[in-house]
């Protein structure tokens, strides 16, 4: 009988060749680059459907899946469901982020220990009191990797919002209006020592804990909401390179420890 191919990600168990680690960028356009950075000579294309593009890489004698999630919680939840049912046990999201603390410089790396759940998808899996926390071992490997690579990094709490605009209190929108629920929230998160905004970690960290599996989260800071800065093209390339270096090293640490 032919193997089941998962509905959205179009992958089957056999295609993963025993991989238990997955790297999850949001952008399908980054999957090939990341897979080839991890494994310059042997990375192979597996599938592409909607926002889900997958490549398989080798590292330290083991297989690593790189699969995009698309933007935001709903599409991320689909990827997590289908990947978990194919045997993935460790999920590393890599992404981009906007920082909200004045002492964080661009480009630097943000390693998330836990997320403020400003998403909707995670509430379909666990009540809002349930924490969105990262796995300790996966996070430790990210910190060791960032030190080893020599990039500036910060470790702490992320606000993870379903929307890029109102949920992250942006006023440069079509209406220019931010609903009351989100007015002054940037200041509030800043006072509560939240480091940054992104859009998928609340869903990732909640669902993976609910599944009894493990997740880590690392992002490259490309916007400062305090300094109103955006990096140059050159800095953006450097930020992406830093992230690839950190995730490759973190995977190596984990794969060699197992």
Q: What are the residue numbers of the active site?
A: 8, 82, 170, 225
Output the CA torsion 48→73→30→257 (10° steps).
-100
Least separation, in Å, of the C-beta of 197 and ligand URA? 5
Beta carbon nearer to ligand URA, 227 or 257? 227
Question: Are the beta carbons of 53 and 67 closer than 8 angstroms?
Answer: yes
CB neighbour class for 93 (10 Å; exposed up to 12, middle 13-18, buried from 19) = buried
Residue 50, token pair as written in the block: 């909607």
Within its chain, how far is the Cα of 55 from the centroid?
16
Contact positions vs ligand URA (CB under 6 A): 96-98, 164, 168, 197-199, 222-223
Instruction: Indicate the angle between helix axes 233-257 and 136-149, nearest 10 degrees.
Output: 130
Which of 21/197 has CB closer to ligand URA? 197
Query: What H or E segment, with its residue span, contains residue 91?
Result: strand 90-99
Q: Which tokens is 222 given?
A: 């490309």
- Which residue number, 135 or 198, has a Cβ lying nearer to ligand URA? 198
Provide, rounded to whole angstroms, the least separation between the CB of residue 60 and ligand URA. Answer: 30
The nearest distance, CB 207 to ligand URA, in angstroms, is 18
In the DSSP assignment, the letter for residue 30 is G
Q: Which residue is nearest to ligand URA (CB)?
A: 98
Please, what is the minimum distance in Å from the beta carbon of residue 198 to ligand URA? Answer: 4
């Amino acid at each position: 009988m032919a193997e089941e191919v998962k509905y959205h990600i179009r992958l089957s168990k056999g295609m993963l060749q025993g991989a238990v680690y997955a790297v999850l960028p949001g952008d399908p356009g980054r999957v090939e680059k990341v897979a080839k950075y991890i494994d310059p000579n042997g990375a192979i294309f597996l599938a592409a459907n909607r926002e889900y593009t997958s490549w398989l890489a080798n590292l330290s004698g083991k297989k690593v899946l790189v699969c995009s999630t698309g933007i935001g919680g709903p599409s991320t939840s689909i990827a997590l469901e289908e990947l978990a049912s194919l045997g993935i046990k460790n999920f590393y999201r890599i992404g981009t982020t906007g920082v909200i603390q004045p002492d964080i410089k661009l480009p630097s790396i943000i390693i998330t220990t836990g997320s403020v759940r400003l998403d909707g998808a995670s509430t379909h899996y666990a009540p809002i009191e349930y924490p969105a926390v990262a796995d300790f071992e996966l996070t430790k490997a990210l910190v060791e990797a960032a030190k080893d690579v020599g990039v500036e990094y910060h470790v702490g709490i992320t606000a993870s919002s379903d929307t890029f605009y109102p949920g992250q209190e942006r006023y440069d929108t079509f209406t220019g209006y931010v609903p009351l629920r989100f007015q002054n929230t940037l200041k509030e998160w800043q006072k509560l020592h939240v480091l940054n905004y992104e859009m998928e970690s609340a869903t990732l960290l909640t669902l993976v804990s609910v599944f009894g599996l493990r997740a880590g989260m690392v992002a490259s800071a490309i916007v400062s909401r305090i300094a109103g800065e955006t990096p140059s093209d050159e800095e953006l390339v450097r930020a992406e390179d830093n992230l690839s270096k950190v995730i490759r090293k973190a995977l190596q640490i984990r794969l060699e420890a197992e």
